[in-house]
Amino acid sequence: MEVPPETYSLGLEAKTERGLLVAEKFDLVIIGGGNAGYIPAIRASQLGMKVALIEKREGGHLGGTCLNVGCIPTKALLHTATLLHDAKNGEEFGVNVSDVEFDYPKAAERREKVVTQLRRGVQGLMKKNKVTVYNGVGSFVEPKKIQVQNGEGTEELEAGKVLISTGSAVNTLPGLEFDGEKVISSDDIVTNNESYPKSVIILGSGAVGVEFASMYKDFGTDVTIVEILDRLVPLEDPEICAELKKSFEKRGIKVMTSTKADPQSLEKTDSGVKIKIAGADSGEQEGAEGEGGSYGGEDAPTGDVDGGDTLEAEALLVAVGRKTVTEDLNLDVTDVEVNERGIIRVDGYGQTAAEGIYAAGDVVGGYWLAHEAGHEGLTAVEHMAGEDPMPKDRSLVPRVTYCRPEIASFGLTKAQAEEEGYEAKEAKFPFQAIGKALIEGEPNGFFKIVSDAETDMILGMHAIGPKVTDLITEGVFAKLVEGTPEEISMTIHPHPSLSEVVGEAAMAAEGHPIHF
């Protein structure tokens, strides 16, 4: 059932007392309606708080980047891409589909239907949980007084506690300003309802870069990835990076690692863009954390390249990471501490340096993932309510990438574990030995477990292959409850299922894999 739009009015029927405007009082005011905002708003209401939620997005749409221009619309298009790939490659399975036609506007229409349905669901949850939603820009007037402003006017809210969850926005490099047509961002892709480029250069190979590379290739686009570091998805286990590169190149995606582009050389032409590239010292730039990309963000080299080649395409997708959104908050009137990258400093519960002011989601850094943001928000409101939540444990945050093949991981790689002083060991099991993977025609990839040789403690898991974004949760839970590979191996996994790869990897970690 659709919730009436008046749920999102500014609420200028503010209280007055002796002719003076009186600020509406709330136990908790949340600034930002993404996963780190609306999810804790619900939990805070369940805990008995009177909650206000401020969202500045046009139309008052909650859900933040993830629901509106990120995870959800992107994965809707990726699902379309998978169906298109399967339709074109069904002959092996005895399914011959001739003259497969791809209707992009229809795919975009379905994408919007999914987004709209979920938006309505979040609206309904706000109403159900009696959360007062304000559509406007929220900023601090005082540490516990928040101003909400939009085209209708201004209102002030008095807060017992404040949760900052204003999220992040797409980032670019000087000289590569977005125009929505030839130099594009991920936001531009998921709001384009008419067409897609027939050739694209993708700058950056983090999750955003490789997901759109995978999608565009299935759409029939000529794809080139330019990555300044020496491997794709450089935050992942090196074997995963190599496996993805092999898979992408087999599909016809051109991968250029250890390569830098010169933003100042960008030339827009009638048919698209041209940009110069050259080899890069892979050690000169560390990848930025987060889902946006790894090319280097604001710190990436931007000067002229010496010699090199020129790439041409209809469009240039800049996927170099994200930047925090804090400029409207007026944090100077608080004791909240922000670093040079705009990231708010918090403890494990989301408490900032200012008493009673918390922050969660992309504004506090981390991996910049929607599920991470929601968990941080829940931890924050439970802590401020006097509950006893577990502080955030970074090693329990699953990182997932929805390209084909999928990638999922959490915790430490073997090299990282050894750097931290563990006597680490690793074991992996290939999907080619899993019956269900062969049945589904996806035998490539593997599942890897990193553990402590002395205690058998799980230190991390890293996987590439079919449905690993779903399979990784078993490992995260095992680590949460301090389980071991032996205990995972004792768990009965249904046959035939892809989940058997987790059990087999665990048996491999114990030295006795069965099917390989």
Report the C-alpha gap between 491 and 502 in whole angstroms. 10
- Same domain as 283, residue 223: yes
Q: Tell me the pLDDT tens digit for each residue of 400-431.
A: 999 999 999 999 999 999 999 999 999 999 99
Locus of tokens 């494990």: 348
Contact 29, 159 (CB under 8 A): yes
Instruction: Report how many domains make up the chain.
Output: 3
- Same domain as 185, residue 42: no
- Same domain as 458, residue 422: yes
Asked if residue 87 belongs to a domain, the reply is: no
Q: Tell me the pLDDT tens digit for each residue of 256-273.
A: 999 999 999 999 999 999
**Packing angle between helix 71-88 and helix 104-128, nearest 10 degrees?**
140
Q: What integer pLDDT is reported at residue 19 of this predicted model?
A: 44
- Would you name the residues annotated as active-site residues? 495
Mean pLDDT value of segment 241-250: 99
Report the C-alpha gap between 320 and 317 in whole angstroms. 9
Q: Write phi, then psi, for 461 (nearest 5 degrees).
A: -140, 145
- Same domain as 46, residue 23: yes
Asked if residue 516 belongs to a domain, the reply is: no
Report the C-alpha gap between 320 and 190 in whole angstroms. 17
Closest alpha carbon to 235 in 195, 205, 199: 205
Cα-based angle 305, 309, 311 (whole degrees, multiple of 5): 110
- Residue-wise DSSP of 317-358: EE-S-EEE--TTS-GGGS---B-TTSPBP--TT-B-SSTTEE
Report the C-alpha gap between 502 and 497 in whole angstroms. 10
Q: What integer pLDDT is reported at residue 284 of this predicted model?
A: 39
Q: What integer pLDDT is reported at residue 303 of this predicted model?
A: 45
Strand, coil or helix: 179: coil
Domain of residue 491, residue span: 405-509
Domain boundary among 304, 321, 338: 321
CATH number of domain containing 457: 3.30.390.30
CATH number of domain containing 284: 3.50.50.60
Q: Write phi, then psi, for 157 (nearest 5 degrees).
A: -120, 135
Which residues lie below 8 Å from residue 490, measured CB to CB, with a gap of 6+? none
Neighbour count for residue 514 (Cβ, 10 Å):
12
Backbone φ/ψ region at 353: left (φ over 0), alpha (ψ -120 to 50), beta:
alpha
Q: Tell me the pLDDT tens digit for each residue of 276-321.
A: 999 976 443 333 344 444 444 444 444 455 557 999 999 999 999 9
Report the C-alpha gap between 434 and 429 in whole angstroms. 9
Class of residue 361 by CB neighbours under 10 A (exposed 0-12, middle 13-18, buried 19+): buried
Q: What integer pLDDT is reported at residue 386 of this predicted model?
A: 97
Mean pLDDT of the chain: 93
Asked if residue 426 belongs to a domain, the reply is: yes
User: Percent of the chain having pLDDT more than 90?
Assistant: 89
195 is an annotated ligand-binding site residue: no
138 is an annotated ligand-binding site residue: yes
Q: What integer pLDDT is reported at residue 418 of this predicted model?
A: 98
Mean pLDDT value of segment 202-228: 99
Q: Tell me the pLDDT tens digit for each residue of 149-198.
A: 998 899 999 999 999 999 999 999 999 999 999 999 999 999 999 999 99
207 is an annotated ligand-binding site residue: yes
Domain boundary among 373, 394, 415: 394
Q: Tell me the pLDDT tens digit for each residue of 339-392.
A: 999 999 999 999 999 999 999 999 999 999 999 999 999 999 999 999 999 999
- Same domain as 488, residue 432: yes
Asked if residue 200 belongs to a domain, the reply is: yes
Asked if residue 102 belongs to a domain, the reply is: no
Q: Tell me the pLDDT tens digit for each residue of 79-99.
A: 999 999 999 999 999 999 988
379 is an annotated ligand-binding site residue: no
Asked if residue 95 belongs to a domain, the reply is: no
- Omega before residue 405 within 30° of 0, cis: yes
- Same domain as 477, residue 341: no
Closest alpha carbon to 235 in 408, 75, 380, 101: 408
Neighbour count for residue 63 (Cβ, 10 Å):
26
Locus of tokens 């955003």: 208
- Same domain as 279, residue 228: yes
Domain boundary among 272, 302, 321: 321
What residues pair up with 134 in beta bridges, in sequence order? 54
Radius of gyration, alpha carbons of the chain:
24
- Same domain as 365, residue 289: no
Return the minimum-mean-pLDDT range out of 15-29, 101-115, 458-472.
Answer: 15-29
- Same domain as 293, residue 193: yes
- Same domain as 243, residue 134: no
Asked if residue 368 belongs to a domain, the reply is: yes
Q: Tell me the pLDDT tens digit for each residue of 430-461.
A: 999 999 999 999 999 999 999 999 999 999 99
Q: What integer pLDDT is reported at residue 281 of this predicted model?
A: 63
Q: Write phi, then psi, for 191 (nearest 5 degrees).
A: -115, 5
Is residue 22 scored above 80 in pLDDT? no
Q: What integer pLDDT is reported at residue 50 of this predicted model?
A: 99
307 is an annotated ligand-binding site residue: no
113 is an annotated ligand-binding site residue: no
Report the C-alpha gap between 440 and 454 in whole angstroms. 38
75 is an annotated ligand-binding site residue: yes
220 is an annotated ligand-binding site residue: no
Calculate the alpha carbon distances from 244 to 107, 211, 237, 268, 272 in Å. 26, 11, 11, 31, 28
- Same domain as 205, residue 112: no
Calculate the alpha carbon distances from 37 to 158, 169, 282 in Å. 18, 16, 38
User: Percent of the chain having pLDDT more than 70?
Assistant: 91
Report the C-alpha gap between 268 and 329 in whole angstroms. 36
- Same domain as 174, residue 144: no
Report the C-alpha gap between 188 and 77 in whole angstroms. 13
Asked if residue 514 belongs to a domain, the reply is: no
